[in-house]
């Protein structure tokens, strides 16, 4: 299967939709930001949401998602996605991907979570592009991991403050 990001002579066939979805997901493994950003619509209708709402992440527009993905690429440079299962529900429905994510932030605490992504596509300027992604996160894992991550950062910040305080004495 062709996993290139080019959609020359594109088609809305299942294989084309699967190829675009796989290309976009694979781009996370190398933080290929031009591909991540180039496979989503340029129009203002792009939306990336993390569900359920209890996760507390507001949906992101194209510009917000581009900034967010660039920021996460710096925080989790070794981030990897493994596709566990992927299905095309056929147009106009989404491509549904069951994925596993892993990465290590600066605090050194391993991040590893399963999620389901609903990836919606449409034609834009003769190319098949993502225009909506709904990520269903593991809410328990997100809550436990990020609560612990905030605590680790507080401790790291306290250590830095203590070092600065001692150096001024």
Domain 14-138, CATH: 3.10.450.50
Positive/negative CA dihedral, 63, 66, 67, 68: positive
Residue located via tokens 């549904």: 96
pLDDT of residue 50: 94
Mean pLDDT for 89-110 is: 90
pLDDT beyond 60 at 165: no
Mean pLDDT for 100-114 is: 88
From CA 110, how far away is CA 141, in angstroms rounded? 12
CB atoms within 10 A of CB 39: 22
Confidence class of residue 110 from pLDDT cuts 50, 70 and 90? confident
pLDDT of residue 45: 87
Q: Is 78 helix (H, G, I), strand (E, B) or coil?
A: coil
pLDDT beyond 90 at 65: yes
Query: Mean pLDDT over all residues of the chain?
Result: 85
Mean pLDDT for 90-115 is: 90
Closest CA to 93 of 122, 50, 62: 122
pLDDT beyond 50 at 60: yes
CB 101 within 8 A of CB 115: yes
- Rounded to two decimals, the pTM is 0.80
pLDDT beyond 60 at 71: yes
For the range 96-105, what are the long-range contacts, defined as Cβ-Cβ under 8 Å and sequence gap of 24 or more?
97/21, 97/25, 99/25, 103/76, 103/77, 103/78, 103/79, 104/76, 104/78, 105/75, 105/76, 105/149
From CA 23, how far away is CA 5, in angstroms rounded? 6
pLDDT of residue 43: 86
Q: What is the DSSP letter of 13?
A: S
pLDDT beyond 50 at 125: yes
């Amino acid at each position: 299967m062709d996993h290139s990001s080019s959609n020359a002579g594109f088609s809305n066939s299942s294989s084309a939709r699967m190829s675009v979805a796989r290309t976009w997901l694979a781009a996370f493994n190398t933080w290929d930001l031009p591909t991540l950003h180039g496979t989503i619509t340029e129009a203002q209708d792009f939306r990336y949401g993390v569900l359920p709402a209890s996760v507390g992440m507001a949906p992101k527009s194209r510009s917000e998602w581009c900034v967010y993905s660039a920021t996460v690429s710096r925080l989790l440079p070794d981030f990897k996605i493994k596709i566990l299962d992927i299905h095309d529900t056929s147009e106009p429905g989404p491509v549904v991907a069951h994925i596993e994510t892993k990465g290590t932030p600066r605090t050194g605490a391993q991040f590893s979570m399963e999620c389901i992504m609903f990836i919606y596509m449409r034609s834009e300027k003769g190319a098949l592009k993502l225009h909506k992604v709904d990520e269903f996160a593991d809410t328990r894992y997100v809550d436990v991991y990020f609560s612990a991550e905030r605590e680790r950062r507080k401790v790291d910040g306290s250590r830095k403050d203590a070092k600065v305080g001692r150096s001024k004495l």
